[in-house]
Amino acid sequence: MEKHTIKGANSSGDIFIGMSKEEVSSLLGDRNVIVLTDEHLNLLYPLFLDGTPRIVVPATEASKSLSQYEAVMNQLLELGADRSTFLLGFGGGMVSDLCGFVASTYMRGLDFGYVPTSLLAQVDASIGGKTGINLSSFKNMIGTFNQPEFVLIDPSVLQTLPEEDLRDGCAEAIKHFAIKSAEDFKWMQTNAEQILAKDPDLLAELVRRAAPIKIKIVQQDVLEKGDRKLLNFGHSYGHAIEAAGGKSHGVCVAQGMLLAGRASKEIGSLSESDYQRLYDLISAFGFDTEEKYLAADLIGAIKKDKKKQGDTLAFIVLNKIGDASIKSITFDALAQVDIS
Ligand SMILES: NC(=O)c1ccc[n+]([C@@H]2O[C@H](COP(=O)([O-])OP(=O)(O)OC[C@H]3O[C@@H](n4cnc5c(N)ncnc54)[C@H](O)[C@@H]3O)[C@@H](O)[C@H]2O)c1
């Protein structure tokens, strides 16, 4: 088991990698706990913290909405939650984002923690203290920076994760490695088949390699003023693809990384051979690498990106596998970059 600590602006939190979910009781002590989970996890793990009140939301991204936020707030009231209540998010990134935002705002703030259950949540969404919900089709427009008191990561729960959701998490792991670690990138390419076959040791190893990359970036830039923006590699295009609907976050990130890789090549920062390595790894995880997009079609949605400042965007370019940088680029210039 590895323990890391993230010091936030107002609070700090511990992240335990490789701890059994049953051990969560030792972190909770005798506090009044309410579990927030989704309907899949509720059915799959009925005995998790047996006897603890549960709020169950539909297992869909649509639960990160203002209406579902209000519904959860009302259920907290009905359950008699007060400031001494601890809210525990048990689920994927949808649950952790919603749980963190509810906990940040109910009665001006409850203590909260996560037991993330999807690969995406274990290597990305549960780490870093960004909480949030969507505003119509625009992702994470309403939210807070607030570190959970703890994140308990138990890779054994990934055995029940459907294949499509496993691949979604792989997209975020590929992103971490692409921007920060050529060695882990190579490891992922070598082990793609066994990871997709859910080899338990390799999944645990994947989490052990990927989660600390995000932790380290966040530790150095909790409020995303600088290098934390690198984690948005592929996300400007990805969120624009996602806004059109019909594709999961991971698929959009995978396709967005490919487009950002092409843009990096066009801009002259990425070599053809490193672009090919990116393409090969994304393709090894079964993502559609052939779908065509035009910059002009995506630019409208990219203009709504939270990383914009006036008419420029902090765009993440890949310099080589394992190294990325932030480039300020105008929307007009970005619209001209050939990503076809
Ligand atoms: N806050 C952040 O920093 C951050 C970063 C990246 C992504 N996100 C957010 O994370 C969300 C995506 O996360 P996600 O992919 O985990 O989506 P999700 O929470 O919707 O989970 C995907 C599906 O997997 C199921 N699932 C989860 N764990 C399971 C398990 N162990 N066994 C069986 N089924 C399981 C869920 O029920 C759901 O059907 C998006 O809303 C995205 O915006 C947030």
Average pLDDT over residues 231-259: 92
CA quadruple 92, 96, 97, 98: dihedral sign: positive
Amino acid at 287: F
C-alpha–C-alpha distance, residues 250 and 27, integer Å: 31
Q: What is the pLDDT of residue 136?
A: 85
Angle at 6 between CA 3 and CA 10, to 5 degrees: 140
Residue with tokens 């639960």: 63
Q: Which pLDDT tens digit goes with each residue over 127-166?
A: 999 999 999 878 889 999 999 999 999 999 999 999 999 9
Q: 48, 119, 120: which to mutate for ligand 1, most atoms within 8 A of CB? A: 120
Please report the beta strands in the chain, taking only residues with DSSP state E, as ranges in sequence order: 2-7, 12-17, 32-38, 54-57, 85-91, 111-116, 130-135, 138-145, 150-153, 308-309, 312-320, 323-330
What pLDDT band is residue 294 in, cutting at 50, 70 and 90?
confident
- The residue among 295 and 210 whose pLDDT is bigger is 210
Tell the residue nearest (CA) to atom 9 of ligand 1: 93
Angle at 240 between CA 59 and CA 304, to 5 degrees: 105
Q: What is the pLDDT of residue 336?
A: 86
C-alpha–C-alpha distance, residues 67 and 192, integer Å: 39
Strands 54-57 and 32-38: parallel
- Region of 198 on the Ramachandran plot (φ > 0 left; ψ -120 to 50 alpha; else beta): left
Share of the chain above pLDDT 90, in %: 83
C-alpha–C-alpha distance, residues 276 and 38, integer Å: 38
Tell the residue nearest (CA) to atom 11 of ligand 1: 93
Q: What is the pLDDT of residue 293?
A: 87
Instruction: Kindly state if the Cβ of 97 falls inside 6 Å of ligand 1.
Output: yes
Q: Which pLDDT tens digit goes with each residue over 35-59?
A: 999 999 999 999 999 999 999 999 9
Helix/strand/coil for 115? strand
Which atom of ligand 1 lies closest to the CA of 61?
Answer: 20
Q: What is the pLDDT of residue 310?
A: 83
What pLDDT band is residue 242 in, cutting at 50, 70 and 90?
confident
Q: What is the pLDDT of residue 137?
A: 75
Mean pLDDT for the chain overall: 95
Of the candidates 335, 319, 178, which has an alpha carbon nearest to the alpha carbon of residue 257? Answer: 178
User: Does residue 302 register a pLDDT over 80?
Assistant: yes
C-alpha–C-alpha distance, residues 41 and 134, integer Å: 22
Ligand 1 center from residue 290 Cα (angstroms):
25
Calculate Rg over the CA atoms of the chain: 19
Instruction: Kindly state if the Cβ of 224 falls inside 6 Å of ligand 1.
Output: no
Average pLDDT over residues 286-301: 88
C-alpha–C-alpha distance, residues 234 and 172, integer Å: 10
Average pLDDT over residues 167-190: 98
Q: Which pLDDT tens digit goes with each residue over 198-221?
A: 999 999 999 999 999 999 999 999
Tell the residue nearest (CA) to atom 19 of ligand 1: 92
Instruction: Kindly state if the Cβ of 91 falls inside 6 Å of ligand 1.
Output: yes
What pTM value is reported for the model? Answer: 0.96
- Angle at which helix 163-180 crosses helix 249-267, to 10 degrees, equals 30
Q: 56, 97, 130, 233: which to mutate for ligand 1, most atoms within 8 A of CB? A: 97
